[in-house]
Chain A
Amino acid sequence: MNPSLSSAVAWMRRRAENVVAGMLGIMFVAFIIQIAFRYLFNFPVGWTSELSVIIWLYMVLIGSAFWLKEHEEIRFDLVAGSLGRRGRRTVAMLVAAAIVILYGMSLPATIKYVAFMKVESTSYLKIRLDILYSVYVAFAVAITVRYLWSLWRLLRGDDVETADITKTSSAL
């Protein structure tokens, strides 16, 4: 990859990490505020849970689109990982093409749905849902661009990055 481009991508990844880690910190503090207000000040607040649930949605979509590498997600590497160099490249190209096509072709309907949601707002913070949900459009575009990019690199002859199976995520 072009060195200045790859350092720009690495920089973006690090900032995305800062943002997502920061969001988790805010969610944690919001919960503490929520409990403290209810018991210490006898004053239940609702905006904290709304904020937390918004953060949860944003953490996942932003983190997955801009931060995590493919092999850090929950995936199954046994079949693809057992192939030879050429086989893995072919398979990776197939997968990337499928994702570009699928996410790409649903994009117009996705934008339409998100735009339609302008009729509703959240209950406490009064955020219009089309604005709130536009993060999904950013996510879908980012995923499409990422796989398009990796498809282009694979076509140019780059190898598939080797993954460390012990870094594979799981909820278990």
Chain B
Amino acid sequence: MNPTSPFSFALMAIVALSLLGLPVGHAMIGGSILYLFLAGLDMGTAAEQLLNGMYGSFLLLAVPLFILAAEFMNTGSIMDRLLRFCNALVGRFRGGLAQVNVVQSIVFASMSGSALADAAGSGKLMQSLMTRDGKYPPAYAAALTAASSVIGPIMPPSIPLVIYALVSDTSVGYLFLGGVVPALLLGLVQMFLIAFTAKRRNFPVEERVPLREMPRVTWEAFPALMMPVILLGCLYSGITTPTEAAAVAAAYALLVSALLYRSVTLKNVYHSLATSARITVSIGMLIAGAMVFNYVITAENIPKTLSAIMKGYELSPVMFLLLVNVLLLILGCFLEGTTIILVILPVLLPTAIALGIDPVHFGVMAITNIMFGLITPPYGLLLFMMVKIADVPLRDLVREVMPFLGVMFVALMIITYVPSTVLFLPRLLGYQG
């Protein structure tokens, strides 16, 4: 790459402006305008790309609707019932509450599409339960909450997977299905680690919920547990489009909390709308910026050039995936993950496809990989959030999170090198890839 080309200047401007604290969306728009100016192109192209891109991306409407659905579900009484259900399932084991934390993360993950939302909602609750009466060290509880929240966006519904579907032109439905087994696998390795640690550190056991209580506890949680079933049902039966399925999920969540759990007031609904809108705007602005910058990347033919270079090296798919793993882990330490999905993945995807890697497998594996960035220092948003929620020093939190990262890395290797972990379910339901 010529260091004095318009593209180099634009890239440097974007990196510099983002590093200096400008919102990344504006940095990408600004850098792209600079590119258009230096290349002598029409600067109105920035507006054109943004407007037509946003106006044409109907699929993205699923993002605010999924956020809204999770927000409606995120009420105290629903969370309590789900927690009682999870406690009845796994509370009886040593380190019971820690196991409950993972199971409730999986359950919540199937209703919400965001890890940060999971940590701020149910994760906050788990943190206070686990540290009450000094049951668990606060840093351990916080590390576990952060690690288990990572499952959120891998289990469907998933906002990152919707965004990947957009940039890769892959089916949201198959991507969602592809996320199920990897999400469960991540939960499983975390539960193994807890079982192992619980013995060594002598974690407490929760009071055993008698078997005859099970039907009642399950029944109380049942309406909330049905939400993922309805969501996936709508998607795979073809009753609705993916975006409409998100609206159905939100409507169902609102109905459940209004009719069954009686926890809805007009004020609550407005609050949910405003909270969801706030997240929507910030994500939307980043996507808008990426739409403008991706025009520049395409105009410069970057993905094809990279693909040709990679071909020159005669990389095997395994080597390429390993490189991607390492690259995404490193980038994840420093960058916000959505930016990686929007800007880096479209550059890598053509090479992956040329090497015969399935785009659904590549997407789920890359998103899982990128999620690790939420709990890797120095820039891990979940770490920052848990430091605040749990009031523990970052250093202690990082130390406690390391073993979790270790086992999750093993899971990531399985997801990366055994494609059927991702592709098994989609193929079962008709995916031809």
Contact = CB atoms under 8 A, between A and B. Distances in A.
Q: Do A and B associate with each other? A: yes
Interface of A: 17, 20-25, 27-28, 31-32, 34-35, 39, 49, 52-54, 56-57, 59-61, 63-64, 67-68, 70, 72-81, 91-92, 94-95, 98-99, 102-103, 105-106, 109-110, 112-114, 133, 136, 140, 143, 165-166, 168-172
A80 to B, nearest CB: 4
Given A59-B280, A60-B281, A52 B61 contact: yes
Closest 10 pairs between A and B when the two form their complex, measured CB to CB = A63-B281, A60-B284, A113-B44, A31-B247, A73-B23, A169-B282, A80-B21, A109-B44, A109-B43, A106-B43
A74 B44 contact: no
16 contacts: A21-B277, A24-B280, A39-B239, A54-B55, A60-B287, A70-B23, A76-B19, A98-B17, A98-B30, A102-B33, A109-B47, A166-B384, A168-B336, A169-B278, A170-B338, A172-B115
Given A103-B33, A113-B47, A57 B55 contact: yes
B277 A20 contact: yes
Determine the main DSSP class of A at the interface with B. Answer: helix
Contacts, number: 235
Contacts of B46: 106, 110
B338 A172 contact: yes
B143 interface: no
Nearest to A90: B20
Contact of B283 (A75, A114, A169): A169
Contacts of B43: 105-106, 109-110
Interface stretch (B84-92, B304-312, B371-379): B371-379
B280 A95 contact: no
A31 B65 contact: yes
A39 B280 CA distance: 29
B381 A24 contact: no
Contacts of B25: 64, 73-74
A87 to B, nearest CB: 10
B349 interface: no
A109 to B, nearest CB: 4
B34 interface: yes
B427 to A, nearest CB: 27
A32 B254 CA distance: 12
Nearest to A67: B281
Contacts of B385: 166
